[in-house]
Structure 1
Amino acid sequence: MEVKTAENKPKRKSAFREWLDSIAFAVVAATLIRWLFLEAYTIPTPSMENSLLVGDFLFVSKLHYGTRTPQTPLQIPLTHQKIWGTNIDSYLSWIKLPMYRLPGFSHVKNGDVVVFNYPDSLGLPADLRPNYIKRCIGIPGDVIEVRGTQAYVNGKPAENPERMLQPYLVYTKEELDTKFFLKYDVWNRRNESENWSPIAELDSVRKEMVTVGYRVVTSAKVAAQFREMGMKVVQDIMPKDMPENVYPNSQLFAWNRDNYGPLRVPKEGETVPLTALNIALYRDVIENYEYNDKVEIEGTTVKINGTPVTSYTFKQDYYFMMGDNRSNSADSRYWGFVPADHIVGKAVFIWMSLDPEGGLLDKIRWRRLFNLID
């Protein structure tokens, strides 16, 4: 029969060692949950208003589309680009792995609100580029067009989000004030002129400028209410003959944010002839997101790894994203397609919402807590 002595009795962990073990377990568990299941994000800009507001805190599901394996594995856990509170990189680029996606139970669909890595940040690894959130307007193979602010997908009008914001010209016979616009939620505490501003014209009799209406950014529902009051309401749309610096930034296309396309979204396995128009449309894709070793494009001549090519087959799927605040959103109209390997996950619900300008009693937007995102 074995007799235990003081020498073989197991040593009890110190309180400090138990504390360290608990911290290590919590970090590992949080890292796995963040990678495989859910990750928290916040809304910093108004590009998705009024569907998502500045100060909304979201949970984003990695399970819907399938989580990605890390391209940059040498990284401090629970960080993105920088070590908390510093400007020091939280990762080392010594090792770069191919990126794969685990099976998900869904695919990106038209109308989904999606978090993705901003593709235009080419100096960073793909999985560490800034996180953006937009609504998916076009999936692989779709033809996207915007006609007078209305998006069309394959020739049919896309369903507009209920709270989508658009600019309107509202003509009135009397001056309106902040109190009026606040009543109809056409007001922004951060900048009162951001969502409405007066329209003035020269009075031919009094020889002075008088207010005849307002430029207003609001929803179609509120615009309809203004019409019911007898106001003249028209959409504030950029003319077709006013080219803007939008993707693909080519003189071959006189497009702007309100009159855009038609543009076909690249699809994996699809082959396009490399005409002058297609080179302008898809040059950015071929050069930056297809993992080609060497691409040379001069005029209408394209060489890949030194070999001239007259057609190109896409290696992955792409998506076209737009913000719900259509006149105040830097989206695919300005910087192009989102590659499939940049998709992070689907925004599913708001777990907290804080008004950046709210006071002690109205800081939390209670009505938005635990709202599903549609």
Structure 2
Amino acid sequence: MGIAFYIGVCIIAAPFLLLTLPGYWKLFKKAGWQGWEALIPFYATYVMLKISGRPAWWLIWMFVPTINLIVGLGIYIDFIKSYGKFTIREQVAASLLPFFYLPKLGFDNTEYLGQSATPEFMQQFGKAARRPMIIAWGIPFTSAVCIAVIIRMFFIESYVMPTSSMERTLLTGDYFFVNKLSYGARMPMRPISVPFTKSTISATNIKTYWDGLKLPYFRLPGFGNVKRGDVVVFNYPMDADSPLYRPVDKRENFIKRCQGIPGDTLSVVDAQVYVNGKAAPTPPGSEMEYTFTTNGGELNPQVLSDLNVTQYPGRDYQTMTKASADALKGYSNVKDFKPVISKKGITDPQSPVYPTNPGHPVGPSNLMLNGKQPDYQWSVDNYGPIIIPKKGWTVKLDSLTYPIYERCINTYENNKLEVKGSGIYINGKKTDSYTFKLNYYWMMGDNRHDSDDSRFWGFVPEDHIVGKAVLIWMSEDNEDSLFGKIRWGRLFKGIN
């Protein structure tokens, strides 16, 4: 992951670096070099070393992951010190806002004073140019961490696809960017935490955040709202349960496609999603399982490979996209071709769905109100209809709706929901309805039979939304040989 991570950092930083080039151009000229030399990667760093008086061999550090980020900022700070910027305030400002600071230095009356890293320079300018090593290197280190945290928190972040649940839209090993400006950046709810870590230290229960400071959910303005069809990264809602009890922004990241937005009525009929009574568009990369036989002999393995058909040893079905299925069933020796779809009105005990999934309990299994007990008989391919809660919507609570919305009311909106006898109580008061405070979404994987999604654990609250997946910038096939690991055809591919 190391190389991929640093490529991602460079891609994220590239637009900001372009804004600094006019400043570098002018500052290079003030030091007696050519302005165009600032435009050549690595050579520009070599020139900065010469301008500040550092040895040229320091350029080697720029090829060493992690060290290059710290040393690079150190070279940069030496560079601006050569123009008389000695104070901590000036150096921090130049580190965090170079796209403003450098053009300002380049176009104002700032002058080049000499090579800041030389003894002669330090003697000439005294204490202003000299600092203890811990401070001199602490500034670039702290600035590097702050820059990375700000970018990840408010703008864009890189993730890797860990499973096959979104195939073939996203493959296992795809590295992709998530745009946090799409829906507005979510402010941290546990702001005191160790950056770039998960919620706990690996193989331990030691938290990487402090529960002593808790902030309410708040989201900055974004470019829009979650739309049907968006590929969305969100926090896994079930991490709210025992034994984890994680706060919202410290729950594991999931990625699925939004199939329903607040207020929609959603159902699945024979594996086809319907929203508000209309068939939803099927993502071109979504996969299903199919069975078929052949008229003697086996299909050419190359045919299956070319069609990206996933074969499972010991199983009588293969997984593929609809386009691949249409192509494959057209072969003359293929017969009895059909999708694997669960029957209507039958709950699969091997794959129980929300809200009757025993792995995700939602309340009393023997709940009976008004003489009725819910019997949904839903499955992964025939589900609903179900109404997705919308902020301000009031639902009537009875034996049929209670199991569906209990988790939203109790867990996500922090109410005490109880059943006493034949009555429902919220925060100690008997009621037969509830008005939602949050918007909710319905998320499903494109690989419909290999995805842990809303069909199994229900709705995704708006405060769990992280951002929109927009671009695959690296893709690694860990099952391929060393020289075939990178899937070159997937690099810089948009996510639809």
Q: What TM-score, normalized by structure 1, do the two folds share? A: 0.88
Structure 1 distance, partners of 2:133, 2:214, is 39
Residues 13-58 of structure 1, C-alpha deviation per residue, up to 9 Å, x if partnerless?
2444322211100101110110100011110010001100000011
1:130 equivalent to 2:252? Answer yes
Instruction: Decide whether the 8 Å contact of 2:445 with 2:451 is kept in 1.
Output: yes
Distance 1:25 1:223, change over 3 A: same
Alignment of 1:47-66 (within 5 A): 47-66=165-184
1:218 equivalent to 2:340? Answer no
Q: Which residue matches 2:424?
A: 302
Q: Which residue matches 1:267?
A: 390
Q: Which residue matches 2:406?
A: 283
Instruction: Decide whether the 8 Å contact of 1:274 with 1:300 is kept in 2.
Output: no
Q: Which residue matches 2:354?
A: 247
Structure 2 distance, partners of 1:299, 1:239, is 36
Distance 1:175 1:92, change over 3 A: farther
Structure 2 distance, partners of 1:356, 1:151, is 33
Structure 2 distance, partners of 1:126, 1:9, is 48
Q: Which residue matches 1:147?
A: 269
Instruction: Decide whether the 8 Å contact of 2:262 with 2:390 is kept in 1.
Output: yes
Q: Which residue matches 1:201?
A: none
Secondary structure of 2:237's match? coil
Alignment of 1:146-165 (within 5 A): 146-165=268-287
Shift of 1:114: 0.1
Shift of 1:10: 2.7
Shift of 1:110: 0.2
Runs of 4+, deviation exceeding 6 Å: 5-8
Structure 2 distance, partners of 1:355, 1:260, is 34
1:100 equivalent to 2:218? Answer yes
Q: Which residue matches 2:158?
A: 40
Q: What TM-score, normalized by structure 2, do the two folds share? A: 0.67
Structure 2 distance, partners of 1:319, 1:129, is 17
Structure 2 distance, partners of 1:176, 1:327, is 25
How many residues align? The count is 348
Shift of 1:224: 0.8
1:228 equivalent to 2:350? Answer no
Shift of 1:179: 4.0
Alignment of 1:15-34 (within 5 A): 15-34=133-152
Structure 1 distance, partners of 2:309, 2:278, is 30
- Structure with bigger helix share is 2
Shift of 1:303: 1.2
Residues 299-319 of structure 1, C-alpha deviation per residue, up to 9 Å, x if partnerless?
652212211111100000000
Shift of 1:220: 0.8
For 2:399, give the aligned amino acid.
Answer: A
Structure 1 distance, partners of 2:151, 2:470, is 16
Secondary structure of 1:276's match? coil
Q: Which residue matches 1:212?
A: none
Q: Which residue matches 1:203?
A: none
Shift of 1:84: 7.0
Residues 159-181 of structure 1, C-alpha deviation per residue, up to 9 Å, x if partnerless?
01111100111121123254442
Secondary structure of 1:355's match? coil
Instruction: Decide whether the 8 Å contact of 1:72 with 1:93 is kept in 2.
Output: yes
Q: Larger RCO: Structure 1 or Structure 2 (Cα < 8 Å, ≥ 6 residues apart)?
A: 1
Structure 2 distance, partners of 1:71, 1:332, is 24
Secondary structure of 1:351's match? strand
Unaligned runs of 5+ in 2: 1-122, 357-364, 366-373
Q: Percent identity?
A: 45
For 2:307, give the aligned amino acid.
Answer: Y
Instruction: Decide whether the 8 Å contact of 1:275 with 1:300 is kept in 2.
Output: no
Q: Which residue matches 2:82?
A: none
Structure 2 counterpart of 1:184, from 294, 299, 307: 307
Instruction: Decide whether the 8 Å contact of 1:164 with 1:325 is kept in 2.
Output: yes
Shift of 1:297: 2.7
Structure 1 distance, partners of 2:340, 2:384, is 19
Q: Which residue matches 2:442?
A: 320
Secondary structure of 1:361's match? helix
Structure 2 distance, partners of 1:187, 1:272, is 43
Instruction: Decide whether the 8 Å contact of 2:475 with 2:491 is kept in 1.
Output: yes
Shift of 1:9: 4.2
Residues 325-350 of structure 1, C-alpha deviation per residue, up to 9 Å, x if partnerless?
00111100000000000000000101
Secondary structure of 2:165's match? helix
Shift of 1:242: 2.5
For 1:229, give the aligned amino acid.
Answer: Y
For 1:153, give the aligned amino acid.
Answer: V
Unaligned runs of 5+ in 1: 199-214
Structure 2 distance, partners of 1:268, 1:95, is 27
Structure 2 distance, partners of 1:57, 1:173, is 41
Structure 2 counterpart of 1:109, from 224, 227, 230: 227
Shift of 1:238: 0.8
Structure 1 counterpart of 2:198, from 63, 77, 80: 80
